[in-house]
Amino acid sequence: MDVFAPDCLQGQTILITGGLGAIGQVVITHLLSHSARVFIGDIVAEDEARKLMRERGWPEARSGYYRADVTDASGARKLVEAAVAAFGRLDIALCHAGVACSRPILEVSEQEWDALLDVNLKGAFLVAQAAGRAMIRDGVRGKIVFTSSWVQDVPWPEITPYTVSKSGMKMLMRGMARELASHGIRVNGVAPGIVAVGMAKKQWDTNARFRQRAEKAIPLGFIQPPESVAEALLFLCSAASDYMTGSTILVDGGCSLYPMD
């Protein structure tokens, strides 16, 4: 049951990075259905992105797109300014872009380590920094939200670079929350569990060892629907979270309650 009114995000401009990924598309649909204006940043080619946006039925008047590499400071800044130019202001920045890889830590190359940390941690920092600067400049008491993961606190085999990036993101979020509170900017995070899309879904479907471990690690007993991530982000974008900053919402089916392998 939807506990939020269809117009609860009316007038709000929300930037989301990595928005054309599997979870991102579900998030955008939720935000648009609650009257937000959504500006999307991703690395997908412009024509391909526009085609996908039309196929999803996202209203042109309330959705925009800019191709940007968030690991580059100039790209992150241009993305934020494109959102401001499109809709007049930026109210909320969702630092959602991320990548993952599954490999034993002793087999991870320097290049793989750098690439993952660049997108997941550096990219989140650069977009959040650019968004914070724009909000302060324009007098917006806005919100910055990071998409982390339950593994920010619980090690999971063969994704150590990913867990490091999310652990770092958690402290980035808390540090920014402390520093930006005086400007009225709230900074929070959402930490999903094992979501039924992308690499996790593929492993769930094809890797018996992964599925056995994952099923044991989820107290609720079933893999996470992406809609639950979107609903948590909807809450953090809404006025219901206005007195929250420096917090992480765990939406993980209980994965983080205790370590299991």
The catalytic residue positions are 162
Asked whether 17 and 94 are in contact (CB, 8 A), the reply is: yes
Element (H, E) at 93: strand 92-95
Tell me how far apart the terminal alpha carbons of the chain are, to the nearest angstrom: 34
User: Burial, 139: exposed, middle or buried (Cβ in 10 Å; 0-12, 13-18, 19+)?
Assistant: exposed
Q: Are 20 and 40 in contact (CB under 8 A)?
A: yes
Side chain identity, residue 224 = Q
- Side chain identity, residue 162: Y
Q: How many CB atoms lie within 10 A of CB 105?
A: 12
